[in-house]
């Protein structure tokens, strides 16, 4: 069974640009969560989507947005990039009916803003 | 504000010893508890989940939960250099309707 797949794995962007990250969850999982990980702040929750609806949202500015498609695939977008947005962005999927709230992470997308 | 606290380490143990990692949490209503291992430059991978008070063993790993003390721990027996990583504690409610809250992790170093 394939795990959570994230693309792209590595990317470099310039301040002010925007970026879109993609996530394909484990087959059958309908919940997708996004986290930002930085050395100083650790893992911080961005948002969670379930059945194409945003179910939870973390404390991030509106520049961070996401969506989920009918096939459960998800994208997140960061607009007007700032240097502080450099981080590892992790997507995680879960299936509340099967695995409770256990989440499984993808390999992440390393974003560097210069 | 729900918080999960871990000692950042590094925790250094000799090969073959028992490594003990600890975590406390602030939300008394928490029902689910997880340990993830993260190697440098990699994403977190699930090691253990525990939902009831007491011990849960899986191979060399034992998770211990004490809800009254709001405390969860991970013991690694016969520690190996390959266990050197950052261990993240995560806490949540049951049902998957709220996001997990993660600690900042404890860095473990197993010395050969």
Tens of pLDDT, residue by residue over B18-63, are 999 999 999 998 989 999 999 999 999 999 999 999 999 999 999 9
User: Cβ of A100 and B42 within 8 Å?
Assistant: no
Residues of chain B found within 8 Å of residue A106, distances taken between Cβ atoms: 43
- Residue A111 corresponds to which tokens in the numbers above? 């974003």
Distance CA B57, CA B74 (A): 10
Residues of chain B found within 8 Å of residue A41, distances taken between Cβ atoms: 104
Predicted pLDDT at B93: 79
Distance CA A64, CA A58 (A): 10
pLDDT band at A98 (very low <50, low <70, confident <90, very high): low
Name which of A14-18, A39-43, A47-51 the model is least confident about. A39-43
The shortest C-alpha distance from B15 to chain A (Å) reads 27
The dihedral sign for the CA sequence B32, B71, B2, B21: negative
Give backbone dihedrals phi and psi of B29, rounded to 5 degrees, phi first: -85, 5
- Of all residues in chain B, the one with the smallest CA distance to A87 is B41
User: Cβ of B97 and A96 within 8 Å?
Assistant: yes
- Residue B102: which of A42, A48, A94 has the nearest Cβ? A42
pLDDT band at A101 (very low <50, low <70, confident <90, very high): confident
| Whether A8 contacts A109, CB under 8 Å | yes
Predicted pLDDT at A97: 64
Instruction: Say if strands A109-113 and A10-13 run parallel, antiparallel, or are unpaired.
Output: parallel
| Residue among A113, A108, A112 nearest A23 (CA) | A108
Distance CA B68, CA A65 (A): 38
CB atoms inside a 10 Å sphere around CB A61:
10
Collapsing DSSP to helix, strand or coil, A45 comes out as strand
| Residue among A43, A90, A87 nearest B4 (CA) | A43
- Residue A41 corresponds to which tokens in the numbers above? 């702040």
pLDDT band at B99 (very low <50, low <70, confident <90, very high): confident
For an interface test with A, give the residue of B35, B99, B101 to mutate (most A CBs within 10 A): B99
């Amino acid at each position: 069974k394939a795990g959570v797949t994230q693309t792209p794995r590595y990317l470099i962007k310039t301040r002010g640009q925007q970026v879109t990250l993609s996530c394909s969850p484990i087959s059958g999982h309908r919940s997708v969560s996004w986290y930002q990980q930085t050395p100083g702040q650790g893992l911080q929750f961005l948002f969670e989507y379930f059945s194409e609806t945003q179910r939870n949202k973390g404390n991030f500015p509106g520049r961070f947005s996401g969506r989920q498609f009918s096939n459960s695939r998800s994208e997140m977008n960061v607009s007007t990039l700032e240097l502080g947005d450099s981080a590892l962005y992790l997507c995680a999927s879960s299936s509340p009916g099967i695995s409770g709230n256990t989440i499984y992470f993808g390999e992440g997308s390393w974003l560097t803003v210069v | 504000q729900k918080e999960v606290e871990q000692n950042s380490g590094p925790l250094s143990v000799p090969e073959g010893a028992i490594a003990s990692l600890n975590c406390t949490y602030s939300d008394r209503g928490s029902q689910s508890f997880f340990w993830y291992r993260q190697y440098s430059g990699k994403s977190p991978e699930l090691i253990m989940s525990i939902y009831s008070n007491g011990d849960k063993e899986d191979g060399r790993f034992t998770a211990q939960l004490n809800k009254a003390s709001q405390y969860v721990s991970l013991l690694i027996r016969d520690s190996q250099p390959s266990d050197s990583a950052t261990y993240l504690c995560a806490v949540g409610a049951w049902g998957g309707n709220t996001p997990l809250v993660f600690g900042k992790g404890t860095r473990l170093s197993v010395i050969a």
